[in-house]
Structure 1
Amino acid sequence: MNTISTTSATKLSNVLRKTNGISEHDVDLESNSTIWTENGTQTKFGKKTKPGTVIPRGLKQIVPTNKPKKRKVKLMNWKKYHRLNVIYAFIDELERDYPAICTVSVIGQSVEGRDIKMLKISNSDARNSAIWLDASIHSREWISTAVVTYIADYIARNFHSLPTSITNKDWHIVPILNPDGYEYTHTHDRMWRKNRAKYDGERVGVDLNRNFSCGWGNNGDEGSSEEPSSVFYRGPMPFSEPEAIAVRDTILGSTVIFKAFLSFHSYYELIIFPWGYKREPCPDYLKLLEGGAVMARAIFESSGVTYKVGSTKDMTYYACGTSTDWSYAIAKIPYSYMIELRSKKYRFKLPKDQIMETCKEILSAVKSLMEFIDRN
């Protein structure tokens, strides 16, 4: 094909803009390469055209291709904390962009009727094991949701270039386990911890991380509370809350064996594991300690921040009815951890400028744990 002169190219681009509504930045006549139309459909010069399209004299016709539509607006980033609708739109977008590996499902509904959404990332290999990640079981711990969405984004967008220790696993990611409480912290009370359950006619809420069956109600008021007004209120019975039921039923209903359960919290900068409801070490104490140390080392090498490692009771206090004790003892998930993120200085209100660094250090920890699990 002969090269089009600069004057002819200018005239031709003007004709294209008038006839097809294409902007001047979309036309590359010198290279005769692909262009981007107004509706986002990528096109190239070829032999066919849509009926009724006016084709300038001397120009070959335009043929649509099947390339995905470009999205002009990206709401999700890790420069600030986001509301529930943005988080859910983000995981829905990952499913649209990577349908071969990403699936979004609703695993339950909150007490106020909000969906509890889970993103699954998997290559559908029957030999895979499963990994669980959840965040914002305590609604005021916003950094936890930022971290798990960052991990989800990283895995989905880089899946085919990641090591086998990542791709040989089915990732089950729940970015907001307590959607009612999470929204409430944005609209009414930033420090709200529990769900929004109503008991005795009042919205008192239940501490979802005291509502699991393992060790539920042990030690009286040390480790949980029977008082609805307490921030540690455990609910009237184990699994009284639909949010806890969603975790239980999803994991126990899985046909794939879970190897790791990671529940993200803030703000103690700790990696803790069972038991929380009693003093004795769990049967796999040394293995869990080693896995926790692997994560802590990766965090320190990433950012210089030191995370301490140990059992829940040893590192904090009695915590009875926790998801990690349940996942280890009842669901039989060998690597069950609660990861307390930054920061002891800022407590629950971690500044926005620390979100990205926190995400990166925890991604390093999770990647290192996956390698450790495969080695063992």
Structure 2
Amino acid sequence: MKWWVIYISIFGIFPVITHSFQAQYNGDQVLHLIPADSEHVEFLKQLVEDEQIDLWRPEFPERIQPQDEVHARIPASALDTVKGELKARALQYSILTENIQELLDNQIQNEDKQPFNTRAHSYIKYHPMEEIYHWMEHMKENYKELVTQHLLGMTYQKRPMYYLKISRKSDKPKKIIWMDCGIHAREWIAPAFCQWFVREVLEAYTADPQRERFLQHIDFYILPVLNVDGYINSWTTDRLWRKSMSLCDLDNSTCFGTDLNRNFEAKWCSIGGSRNCCSITYCGSAPESEPETIAVASFLRKHLGDVLCYLAIHSYGQMILMPYGYTNTTASNHEEMVNVGQKAADALYQKHGTRFKVGSTVELLYYAAGTSIDWAADLGIDFSFLFELRDNGTHHFILPEDQIQPTCEETMAAVTTIIEHVYDKHFPNTAPTIVALWFSVLASSFLSVYFVK
């Protein structure tokens, strides 16, 4: 039996999460496969078409290539058949996850340990949307001199999309760095990082003169969850849900959801997306057909010329991606972006030894039109990066909570490297004094002690 308690607040009606998903994955496994030749590739494509496997990497069968790794979820009901066929064809595979449901259950058990406390918001815990809304209110109230909360738009299911603006009063012209997280519902580590980033900016940046200088010239705009409807669905119904929750009807079959990262006007649906609304890469009925993408696109168009950097946070795969996904042509400043991206990856590695690849979407992943970073680049935003956070396939989209802190720490180092480059390029004569640099060392030491709890 599944129980829901309805909580009514100023944000609307939300289920208080009891962590009893309707969708179950008992016995489902995730396999790591290496197709040796074109026959293996065609066989895997057929398995996807027959819905015997759920392709996780790459996102769609057209991108499967000989000798490239493939990650796929195999339903328990098809395991014996699929493994038998793989062995008969000598198609190499190994088991990444023995039982997906066990991963889910372990994560949910951790979620139930402590009740939510706004005043003691945990940054090493995943939070449902209701708690993120309350956290945003709390940050706004506790940092009134720096933080304001704004309504970006409303989702398909009429939920508010709020972003936080971090801004220090200044008589100097201000520029914008934009960050959005959670465009894909099941990638919970992304909203977790957005929360970590806000805390770090407010507490670490303001205590560090070297970083505090950013706030003299730059405002940070952070959208913790872009796909609010889908994120809520991933907590209440299907932990592995990816898309939005818009409704469409195709061939008398009702399907839900658009892949919001295929819905931007960047050669929309020309490649790497699907016009079948039942597909996980459904690109929508038209570019910016969804209220969520309309809200983001409208805001950035309105502030075009002031946005210096666009950052999109995803998982999994451990990559720093840059335009483009719909063409082999690179951005005009591609070499500069590769250099700063590599510096960011190096800074990330220094934290916990995690290795990230750096390159364009086409180079490292696949062809995909309609993505937000391509759209931002086409709009004229010079620095547009997409982070695919941990891991490389051990836990997939179900990253355990004990990896939130190291993931956020290393990602913060990488993001800060990018911000420093963008800042120094646009504000080259604002380097901190020697006294300020010495104070920053003391402040950093104090904060490293303060935050270890």
TM normalised by structure 1 equals 0.77
Provide the residue aligned with 1:192 in structure 2.
Answer: 241
Question: What is the DSSP-based 3-state SS (H/G/I as helix, E as strand, rest coil) of the residue aligned with 2:119?
Answer: coil
1:112 is matched by which residue type in structure 2?
A: Q
Specify the alignment match of 2:20 in structure 1.
Answer: none
Partner of 2:410: 361
**1:272 paired to 2:324:** no
Contact 2:205 2:212 in 1 (8 A): no
Report the CA distance shift for 1:341/1:259 in structure 2 as closer, same or farther (over 3 A): same
Structure 1 spans left out of the alignment, 5+ residues? 1-71
Deviation at 1:246, TM superposition (A): 0.9
- Tell me whether 1:343 sits opposite 2:395 in the alignment: no
Higher relative helix content: 2
Name stretches of at least 5 consecutive residues in structure 2 with no aligned partner.
1-116, 426-453
1:290 aligned partner, one-letter code: N
Aligned partner of residue 338 in structure 1, secondary structure? strand
What are the within-5 Å matches in structure 2 for residues 1-376 of structure 1? 74-125=119-170, 126-162=172-208, 163-164=211-212, 166-167=214-215, 168-200=217-249, 202-219=254-271, 223-254=272-303, 257-330=306-379, 332-344=380-392, 345-376=394-425
Q: How many residues align?
A: 301
**Are the counterparts in 1 of residues 118 and 135 from structure 2 also a CA contact under 8 Å?**
no
Assess, with a 3 A threshold, how the Cα gap between structure 1 residues 232 and 73 changes in structure 2: closer, same or farther: closer
Q: Secondary structure at the match of 1:239?
A: coil
SS in 2 for 1:74: helix
Q: What is the CA-CA distance between 1:226 and the residue it aligns to?
A: 0.5
- CA shift for structure 1 position 288: 1.0
Partners of 2:362 and 2:205 in 1: how far apart? 37
Q: 2: CA distance between counterparts of 1:75 and 1:183?
A: 22
SS of the residue aligned with 2:395?
coil
Contact 1:136–1:178 (Cα < 8 Å) also in 2:
yes
Are the aligned partners of 1:185 and 1:191 in contact in 2 as well (CA < 8 Å)? yes
CA distance in 2: counterparts of 1:159 and 1:99, whole angstroms: 16
**Stretches of 4+ moved more than 4 A in 1?**
none
**2:449 corresponding residue in structure 1:** none
| Structure index of larger Rg | 1
Range that drifts further, 156-165 or 340-349: 156-165
How far does residue 157 in structure 1 lie from its aligned partner after superposition? 2.6
Asked whether the 8 Å contact 1:130–1:256 carries over to 2, the reply is: no
Query: SS of the residue aligned with 1:89?
Result: helix
Specify whether residues 294 and 274 from structure 1 end up closer, same or farther in structure 2 by C-alpha distance, changes over 3 A only: same
Query: Could you state the TM-score of these two structures normalised by the residue count of structure 2?
Result: 0.64
Deviations 1:314-342 (A, max 9, x none): 00001110000001111x11110110000
| C-alpha deviation, 1:73, in angstroms | 5.2
Assess if the C-alpha contact under 8 Å between 2:177 and 2:309 holds in 1: yes
Q: 1:244 to 1:283 in 2, by over 3 A?
A: same
Q: Tell me the distance in 2 between the aligned counterparts of 1:271 and 1:317.
A: 14
Q: Deviations over 1:244-279 (max 9, x none)?
A: 011111111227611110100000100000000111
Q: Do the aligned partners of 1:128 and 1:256 also contact (CA within 8 Å) in 2?
A: no
Going from structure 1 to structure 2, the CA distance change for 1:258 and 1:73 (only over 3 Å counts) comes to closer
